[in-house]
Amino acid sequence: MADLDIKAAEMLKVANLYRTKHRVTIVKVLLKAGRPLSQEQIAHRCGKKHFDKVTIYRIIETLVKVGLVHKAYVDKRASHFELAHHCTDRQCHPHFTCTSCGSTHCLMEISLPMAESPHKGFIIKRQKVHLEGLCPDCV
């Protein structure tokens, strides 16, 4: 666990943020998860008795603002967040969500070319790919 503390603290340092206990904990949760989490899932993994929803929301927004975390996708009006260290400013790695159990997996092994708009005047600034189907456990 100490390795995750060090890695989380280093990521915050690189992002030029104070390494508070709450920030380190949230970055550790995202590191350990290895997949996008909703704010509710982050709260549950942090231990709700130590973190209120407003604190978690503010920390996530700060981490998004500095580019350390990004919104991977929105499902049923709930944003899911993950560390942005596997993505570029223009493109996020693809995600797969199982339509049966609801689990989401990062597909970092898949590399997709950046889309180009066939319509004049449209400028694509960021590309996200979200695939749906059945995971191996639900097949």
User: How far is it, in rounded angstroms, from Cα 133 to Cα 16?
Assistant: 39
State residue 88's pLDDT score: 77
- The predicted-structure confidence for 23-46, as pLDDT tens digits, reads as follows 999 999 999 998 899 999 999 998
Would you state the pLDDT for residue 73? 81
User: How many angstroms separate the CA atoms of 65 and 84, rounded?
Assistant: 11
- Angle among Cα 42, 105, 47 to the nearest 5 degrees reads 15
What pLDDT score does 116 carry? 87
- Cβ pair 99, 131 in contact under 8 A: no
- Look at residue 103 in the predicted model and tell me its pLDDT: 86
pLDDT in the model for residue 132:
93
Specify the pLDDT at position 48. Answer: 65
pLDDT (0 to 100) of residue 102:
86
* Residue of 33, 3, 54, 106 lying closest to 11 (CA atoms): 3
d(CA 50, CA 107): 32
pTM of the model: 0.78
Other beta carbons within 10 angstroms of residue 108's beta carbon come to: 12
The answer to whether the beta carbons of residues 70 and 87 sit under 8 Å apart is: yes
List of the chain residues with pLDDT < 70: 1, 48, 50
